[in-house]
Amino acid sequence: MKQLRTPARLTPKPATILIVDDSPVNLQVLMRTLDGTGHRILVATGGQAAIEISGRARPDLILLDVMMPGVDGFEVCRAIKANPATNHIVVIFLSALGEVADKVAGLEMGAADYITKPIQADEVIARVATHLVQQQLEREVRLSRDSLDRELSSAAEMQRMILPPRLPGIGSLSFDAYYQTSRYVGGDYYDVVPLPDGQCGVMIADVSGHGATSAIIMAMIRAAFHASPVPPVDPAALLRYLNNQFRFLWGSSLLATAFYAVFDSNSRRLSMACAGHPSPLLVRGNTVEPLQFDGTIPLLIMDMPEIARSEQFLQPADRVLFYTDGITERENSQGEMYELPRLCSILSRSHERSSADLLTSVIQDVEAFAAGQEPQDDQTLLLVSVSKEGV
Question: Would you place residue 6 in the very low, low, confident or very high pLDDT band (cuts 50, 70, 90)?
Answer: very low
Specify the pLDDT at position 155: 66
Specify the pLDDT at position 63: 95
271-275, long-range: CB < 8 A, 24+ apart? 271/234, 271/235, 271/309, 271/310, 271/311, 272/235, 272/309, 272/310, 272/311, 272/312, 273/235, 273/236, 273/238, 273/239, 273/307, 273/308, 273/309, 273/310, 275/239, 275/243, 275/299, 275/304, 275/307
pLDDT reading at 106 higher than 60: yes
Q: Where are the beta strands (DSSP E) in 24-171?
A: 40-44, 61-65, 90-95, 113-116
Asked if residue 293 lies in contact with residue 260, where contact means CB atoms within 8 angstroms, the answer is no
- DSSP β-bridge partners for residue 206: 188, 257
Lowest mean pLDDT among 57-61, 131-135, 140-144, 153-157: 153-157
Greater pLDDT, 350 or 12? 350
- DSSP β-bridge partners for residue 113: 92
pLDDT tens column, 366-379: 999 999 898 888 89
List the one residue out of 199, 160, 155, 153 whose CA is nearest residue 178. 160
* Count of CB atoms situated within 10 Å of the CB of 47: 23
Greater pLDDT, 388 or 19? 19
Specify the pLDDT at position 100: 63
Greater pLDDT, 169 or 252? 252
List the one residue out of 263, 257, 273 whose CA is nearest residue 205. 257
CA–CA dist 235, 275 (Å, integer): 11
pLDDT tens column, 176-204: 999 988 766 678 999 999 999 889 999 99
Question: Would you place residue 9 in the very low, low, confident or very high pLDDT band (cuts 50, 70, 90)?
Answer: low
Regarding pTM above 0.85, the answer is no
C-alpha angle 391-173-308 in degrees, rounded to nearest 5: 110
Percent of the chain with pLDDT over 90: 62
CA–CA dist 165, 148 (Å, integer): 26
> Hey, what CATH class is 162-386 in?
alpha beta
- The reply to whether 162-386 shares the fold of 8-141 is no
Question: Would you place residue 1 in the very low, low, confident or very high pLDDT band (cuts 50, 70, 90)?
Answer: very low
Q: Which amino acid is at 336?
A: E
CA–CA dist 322, 338 (Å, integer): 16
Specify the pLDDT at position 146: 77
Q: For the structural domain made of 8-141, what CATH number should be given?
A: 3.40.50.2300
Strand order of the β-sheet with 173-180 is: 173-180, 379-386, 319-323, 281-284, 287-290
CA–CA dist 169, 313 (Å, integer): 19
Contacts of 148 (CB under 8 A, 6+ apart): none
Asked if residue 106 lies in contact with residue 74, where contact means CB atoms within 8 angstroms, the answer is yes
Lowest mean pLDDT among 17-21, 132-136, 238-242, 254-258: 132-136
Strand order of the β-sheet with 90-95 is: 40-44, 16-20, 61-65, 90-95, 113-116
Specify the pLDDT at position 189: 92
Specify the pLDDT at position 184: 66
- DSSP β-bridge partners for residue 202: 192, 261
Specify the pLDDT at position 81: 93
Greater pLDDT, 305 or 244? 244
Question: Would you place residue 7 in the very low, low, confident or very high pLDDT band (cuts 50, 70, 90)?
Answer: very low
Q: Within 13 Å and on the Cβ side, how many CA atoms surround 51?
A: 16
CA–CA dist 329, 378 (Å, integer): 10
Domain segments of the chain as ranges: 8-141, 162-386
Specify the pLDDT at position 180: 87
pLDDT reading at 3 higher than 60: no
